[in-house]
Structure 1
Amino acid sequence: MPANLTPQYHKAEEVYKQAKTSEEKIAALEEMLRAMPKHKGTDHLQADLKRRIAKLREEESRPKSKKAAFDPFRVEKGGAGQVLLLGAPNAGKSAIVARLTSAPTQPTPFPFATQGPIPGMMAHEDVQVQLVDLPPITPDYFPSGMLGLVKSADGALLVADLSSDLVLDDLETILAKVSEGRVRLFDPAVQTAGAPADSDEVLLVRIPALLLANKGDADGAQDRLELLRELYQGRFDPLVISAETQEGLDRLPGAVFGMLKRIRIYSKEPGKPVDRSSPFVLKEGDTVLDLAARIHRDFPEHLKQARVWGSARFEGQAVQRDYVLRDRDVVELQVDL
């Protein structure tokens, strides 16, 4: 079957050939994967692109030599995804992380108390999501190391301070700073990541994000919230919370997991009960073949059959290796090693 690759794919491929850094190569490869038609004719090409992306990411995550400069903004990823909190001074980022995780972050009434990234794990049902508290972003402060962390993250929480009359200016500063670094934040519930208009846009890093309207209990918060909704209509849908009163925080783990577009898959060995203790976390759109590769690198080559409970038409149905999985599916793989 012919691959029938799109013009967007070839444009991204050309950008990949010209890319100099691992970051640029990963962005171009991911765009090639996104723009590629998904059918049997591209199975091998999809697998090759995913291997190349994984290899580049592995190289990026390897410890640098002792002679290499220390990067204070390097945070090893954990859980179902890494989500950064971006905000102005005193927006309440640390208070949110403290409420939702056991991270050693200390909310304070004065700005710049957070000097470096502080990760913590937030529970959502049977998975964990990594939240990372970051120093505030201002017109005069946005170090390159922080930009690198933003580019590698799986998602972001843009924290707006509803107690401040400068809330709109603060948000515009943050969005401008990340945009200068070729990062586009978008709310996947409101808009798509968008197809690149030209080869330059291929190198844009698109990060899913939620706009958290914090301090919803403050005086004048409702008026400032209306301004937020008016300014960001069609781009972000503000989620009103209060780290102080905990208003809306119970909805945040589910909203974050949904933003990440992840699915949980439970494995089942032939003739044995389902293992629901620790689901495999995959991306929406991933297939049986992707699950096999996640379990063991040799499984895709030796996969004989797969059976699915949940999204299949009937329980335990035998499916093809390109079958697209759904959240909470149970999968039994039969491999011939």
Structure 2
Amino acid sequence: MPANLTTQYKDAELRFRQATDHDAKREALREMLALLPKHKGTEKLHADLKKRLAKLEEEAGHAARGGHRADPGHVRREGAGQWILVGPPNAGKSSLLAALTHAHPEIGEYPFTTRAPLPGMAAVEDVQVQLVDTPPVAAGHTEPYLPNLVQGADGVIVVLDPTADDVAQAFAAVLEVLSRGHVWPRGRAPPQGASPLLVARPVLVVATRRDLDDGGTFAALARDAAGAELPFFAVSATRGDGLDALRPELFRALGRIRVYTKEPGKKPDLGKPFVLPAGATVHDLAALVHHDVAAHLKFARIWGHARFEGQQVDRHHVLADRDVVELHA
């Protein structure tokens, strides 16, 4: 039996997916429960929503009794997008963060060196993306907030040590964390009977220690364990191998575009592009610049992917990556 979800329910579900703190998530879940049609076709979804709400309320209760705020793993977003690094102990997550950003994580040859999320900013050409190192995923020792951290991110980087004996098990454990966060790798078919709340996120697989795997044998085994449909990168954080191939993917996989603005008669500002989702229009850019510009926008001129340089377009024109836009209000 179809669920026949209403527009109001879908709006509440969107607010839940976009929420970045416990209070907003709980409010959206309560609204979803109130708006959910009550019939046999929605029984599983109703149970799933109640379970998720109970979990959030339990976490909030623990935080209140402990005298601190909920979301111990919440990391404020910065830059063009947020990637969460997830993987087993000693996979090289902290070394990868240090190699790609200016962060200085504690790095050790012993397990569980990382005890709390640590963000760093990675330069990708003319934009910055945020990478967040996390405590390791291990049987019986995974931080309870990690699924929520993954759920709120724009993408996930699965870091694996291909020389380890249990690469397949390690990847399966990470997938379990993603599943608990209602996240599934974009491009991979979701499991049968998956929750309606499941969201697709870009997932990159990074095999470390390439400097110990000159023949690529271990990396090939890790690729097989992760599956051919997921983007795969073999890197060495210490030697730098493979990082130049990985870095541009940190922006490209987010499905976003960079747009530059210019004033009439002046050169474009190429130092700080505006970042928008793919498919964004001239109106979306104008709204990002200022709501008054969007309200009074008459037309725009485009350099880049227009039919000719300086082409005049209306507010509904779809922008492309690296377009230069001159707004006329």
TM superposition score category, shorter chain reference: 0.7 to 0.9
Structure-2 residue corresponding to 1:61: none
Cα–Cα, structure 1 residues 289 and 82, in superposed 2: closer, same or farther, change >3 Å?
same
Matched, 1:203 2:201: no
Q: CA deviation at 1:230?
A: 3.0
Matched, 1:165 2:165: yes
Kept in 1, the 8 Å contact 2:278–2:320? The answer is yes
Kept in 2, the 8 Å contact 1:287–1:323? The answer is yes
Matched, 1:313 2:293: no
Kept in 1, the 8 Å contact 2:167–2:225? The answer is no
Percentage of identical aligned residues: 41
5 Å-filtered alignment, 1:90-239, equals: 90-186=90-186, 191=187, 201-218=195-212, 222-239=216-233
Structure-2 residue corresponding to 1:60: none
Cα RMSD (Å): 3.1
Kept in 1, the 8 Å contact 2:150–2:181? The answer is no
Cα–Cα, structure 1 residues 319 and 289, in superposed 2: closer, same or farther, change >3 Å?
same
Alpha-carbon distance in 2 for matches of 1:220, 1:253: 21
- TM-score of the superposed pair, with normalisation by structure 2: 0.78
What letter matches 2:179 in structure 1?
S
Structure-1 residue corresponding to 2:16: 23
Kept in 2, the 8 Å contact 1:97–1:131? The answer is yes
Alignment: residue pair count: 287
Aligned partner (choices 260, 268, 274) of residue 262 of structure 2? 268
Kept in 2, the 8 Å contact 1:88–1:138? The answer is yes
Q: Which runs of 5+ in 2 are unaligned?
A: 21-27, 29-62
What letter matches 1:119 in structure 2?
P
Secondary structure of 1:264's counterpart equals: strand
Q: Which runs of 5+ in 1 are unaligned?
A: 1-6, 30-63
Kept in 1, the 8 Å contact 2:208–2:234? The answer is yes
Q: CA deviation at 1:143?
A: 3.0
Secondary structure of 2:272's counterpart equals: strand
What letter matches 1:213 in structure 2?
A
Kept in 1, the 8 Å contact 2:298–2:314? The answer is no
Secondary structure of 1:119's counterpart equals: strand
Q: CA deviation at 1:283?
A: 1.3
5 Å-filtered alignment, 1:247-258, equals: 247-258=241-252
Kept in 2, the 8 Å contact 1:97–1:133? The answer is yes
Alpha-carbon distance in 1 for matches of 2:19, 2:131: 23
Structure-1 residue corresponding to 2:7: 13
